[in-house]
Structure 1
Amino acid sequence: MRERTWKILEHLGLSKDLSKVTNTPPDGLPGIGFEFRRADRADGFQFHLYTTPYGNVLFHRAHFLDIFVNHLPTGVAHFGKRLLSYEDDKGNSQVKLKFADGSQSTCDLLVGCDGLRSIVRKQMYDQAPFKEPALKDVAEPVWSGWVAYRALVPADRIRRANGGKEIRAMTHPMMYCGKDKHIVSYPISQGRIVNVVGFVFYPEAEGKAFNGPWVTECDGAEIIKHFAGWEQEVQELLRHVDNATLWAIHHLRPLPMYTSGRVALLGDAAHAMTPHQGAGAGQAIEVRLDTFHETRRPAFRCTST
């Protein structure tokens, strides 16, 4: 997480509680953003150490989101809802919402922050006032050619197998690099868990359709196969992976519009990108601070039926 993003969370009054669920709360001192290693060989070596003014604030995604939810006023958040469609009723200055469970709602402003496969984006472009043959295609996700193996490893498991010693990924963010492959790994949950994400790139597949489900389960042996021959520290990390999920990494091409009437797109629905720079969530959070100060009052109301 970048310094600007953390400053925004401070202004929102979330930093105190967020500091309790990270093992790297900002202390004002420079720290490691990522250590980069050439790791696709037995004699791996460090080739760059990226530092930031406060280090790298690391979270388990679920803990991060829980803090946001816990700070919302009672009755604001409604979970287990899947949007089917919306209707921008310009006559009544409202947006009507229909959900998969049969319920309906209205709001003054609809912000579609509903991810890469955004229902809001799809309908916005289906109903775009200007008709171009390729307009709908622009709004469709594109396979980047990358797949990602995601897994969580208990830190104690690595420590016990290592005679009590810790590997780098247990103490700070690591980027183990090789040709068309890399592994991102860092500690989360106050250091109790090591997050592991192994990326594999298929250059010939970039931009082509991905056949099959975008997310599937797999075992640790599949990950180990892709990183055979890498340095010992990588082998030590991967051999403790039991179960993982395999993700086909998609992204969006630049969109010609992000708003239509009383409807707007935000986050991955607007600018889904590959995760290699770890900037997608931060970009969704980073808004002008003076805008935040001007909009402390509720910006819209929502009623359900």
Structure 2
Amino acid sequence: MTEPRIAIIGAGIGGLACGLALQRAGVPFTIYEQASALTEIGAAIALSANGSRELARFGCLPGLEATSCEPTELIWRGWRDHTRVAAHPVRKDCAYRKTYGAPYFGIHRADLQKVMRAQLHGDVIRLSHRLTGLAETDQGIRLEFHGEDSDVVDLVIGADGIKSRVRDYVARPGAIRYSGTSAFRGIVPTKELPHLPDPHAIQFWMGPDAHLLHYAIGPDGGDVNYFAVTEGPDEWPDPERWVIEATREDHLKPFQGWDEAVTEMVSQSHHFARWGLFTTKPLRHWHKGRAVLIGDGAHAMVPHHGQGANTSIEDAVTLAGMIASEGLANLEGLLTRFARLRRVRTTAIQKSATATNHVLHLHDEADLQARAARLKKFPDEFGWIHAFDTSKVKSEPTRNIRLRAR
């Protein structure tokens, strides 16, 4: 029997995870990446149990432990002072691993890519391959690349992010929408943050119309990655550029009067820019012909649950498992079932992440008290996100997922 020809577009977290899952199943593939090198500056990832358990199955756990920081606790604070609103142990007493069966890590994106790539065998990644078009043919689906030879394959897996060219083919342009919020981010040496309490915890500082999330990265927690989110602008000024210029004053203005730990962190950044937060509207179809979407191309979400990379890993492992067990003989049926299987969960997380933005930016005192009570029940409210295991997907209570995401 002829081996399937599978192309993965994008060597980000979802694309590499898809390659690792296909490799484990003995299914050949090629990853096409538009960049000339797998690097990203100034970005970090919160890797929760639903993602780390899958990477552990690929042999990535030693590499992750060597390059990551496992948070001591998950802490929520108000904006005026250090007072804890709610807290839950993570590394302390191995509480998180005991509850969810896998670790929680803060890791730089480039380090995560290196760990994952190290587990891939052979020359399976083609760099400097920017996809420009797709077309169905009698022999398969043809991929056109800028400045490179075209290729024909049996299946294209679009792991090319929120600006996905594969999604433009599957669902036509226009699926991306601005969330009405934007962010400032940076990485600051921990030693430069003398006023920061619990520097190795993952922490949310919550205030009117803004919040700041931060967690330590690196094997010794030597750096702190922060992500500061504010309401607005009402309309994004440049739809072609999702990162626009900003000043130090722009970064600090939303946090005037906040605890010194917050203003100290934001002022230490050396790269002043504003990131627009965009999402993918619910897609009617995740596939068309021989092309299918995974990750942000299918369900980009605001990052308030830290699930963009983790759900991409889930998608990749689920799709690869179905390919390995069913083959591509009934491709339409396989891709339809894959989308149906993943859409319920990813839509629930999308909606919950959007609702969380409002919860983090509250003004009213009565609402603040209700929020505090809810955050103290984090495992009951949000544990379904972290406990997910693709190997047990057939028994996943999808009806309960819908209810909990309200």
SS of 1:58's equivalent in the other structure is strand
Amino acid at match of 1:256: R
The answer on 1:141 being equivalent to 2:169 is no
Report if aligned partners of 2:295, 2:309 keep a CA contact under 8 Å in 1.
yes
Give the length in aligned residue pairs. 269
Match of 1:251 among 279, 282, 286: 279
* The structure with more helix, counted as a fraction of residues: 2
SS of 1:59's equivalent in the other structure is strand
The aligned residue for residue 230 of structure 2 is 200
Paired with 1:114 and 1:169, the residues of 2 have a C-alpha distance of: 36
The aligned residue for residue 399 of structure 2 is none
Cα deviation for residue 275 of structure 1 reads 0.6
Amino acid at match of 1:108: D
The answer on 1:172 being equivalent to 2:212 is no
Match of 2:124 among 73, 76, 79: 76
Alpha-carbon spacing, 1:10–1:292, altered in 2? closer, same or farther (3 Å):
farther
* TM-score with structure 1 setting the length: 0.80
The answer on 1:211 being equivalent to 2:214 is no
Report if aligned partners of 1:143, 1:210 keep a CA contact under 8 Å in 2.
no
The answer on 1:113 being equivalent to 2:159 is yes
Amino acid at match of 2:125: A
SS of 2:129's equivalent in the other structure is coil
Paired with 2:319 and 2:170, the residues of 1 have a C-alpha distance of: 25
SS of 1:81's equivalent in the other structure is coil
Give aligned-pair identity as a percent: 25
Paired with 2:316 and 2:215, the residues of 1 have a C-alpha distance of: 29
Match of 1:36 among 65, 76, 79: 76
Report if aligned partners of 1:147, 1:249 keep a CA contact under 8 Å in 2.
yes
Paired with 1:182 and 1:48, the residues of 2 have a C-alpha distance of: 15
The aligned residue for residue 303 of structure 1 is none
After superposition, the C-alpha distances for 1:195-225 in whole angstroms (9 at most, x for unaligned) are 11110013x82xx564352112434332112
Cα deviation for residue 245 of structure 1 reads 2.8
Cα deviation for residue 288 of structure 1 reads 9.1
Amino acid at match of 1:45: T
Paired with 2:190 and 2:236, the residues of 1 have a C-alpha distance of: 37
Name the stretch that deviates more: 263-272 or 236-245: 236-245
Paired with 1:186 and 1:290, the residues of 2 have a C-alpha distance of: 29
Cα deviation for residue 265 of structure 1 reads 0.4
Amino acid at match of 2:184: Y
Alpha-carbon spacing, 1:290–1:77, altered in 2? closer, same or farther (3 Å):
closer
Paired with 2:254 and 2:281, the residues of 1 have a C-alpha distance of: 29
Alpha-carbon spacing, 1:125–1:286, altered in 2? closer, same or farther (3 Å):
closer
Paired with 2:322 and 2:162, the residues of 1 have a C-alpha distance of: 29
The answer on 1:49 being equivalent to 2:49 is no
Paired with 1:264 and 1:243, the residues of 2 have a C-alpha distance of: 36
Paired with 1:169 and 1:81, the residues of 2 have a C-alpha distance of: 43
Name the stretch that deviates more: 255-264 or 214-223: 214-223
Paired with 1:280 and 1:22, the residues of 2 have a C-alpha distance of: 18
Alpha-carbon spacing, 1:262–1:12, altered in 2? closer, same or farther (3 Å):
same
Paired with 2:236 and 2:249, the residues of 1 have a C-alpha distance of: 26
Which consecutive unaligned segments of at least 5 residues does structure 2 have? 1-46, 91-95, 98-102, 329-406
* The structure with more strand, counted as a fraction of residues: 1
Alignment RMSD (CA, Å): 2.6
* TM-score with structure 2 setting the length: 0.61
Pairing 1:1-305 to 2, within 5 Å after superposition: 1-24=47-70, 32=73, 34-39=74-79, 41=80, 43-51=81-89, 53-54=96-97, 56-89=104-137, 91-92=138-139, 94-126=140-172, 137=174, 140-158=175-193, 162=194, 167-168=196-197, 170-190=199-219, 191-202=221-232, 205=234, 210-211=237-238, 213-287=241-315
Report if aligned partners of 1:169, 1:185 keep a CA contact under 8 Å in 2.
no
After superposition, the C-alpha distances for 1:127-174 in whole angstroms (9 at most, x for unaligned) are xxxxxxxxx54xx2100001010111122333xxx3xxx723621111
Alpha-carbon spacing, 1:282–1:180, altered in 2? closer, same or farther (3 Å):
same
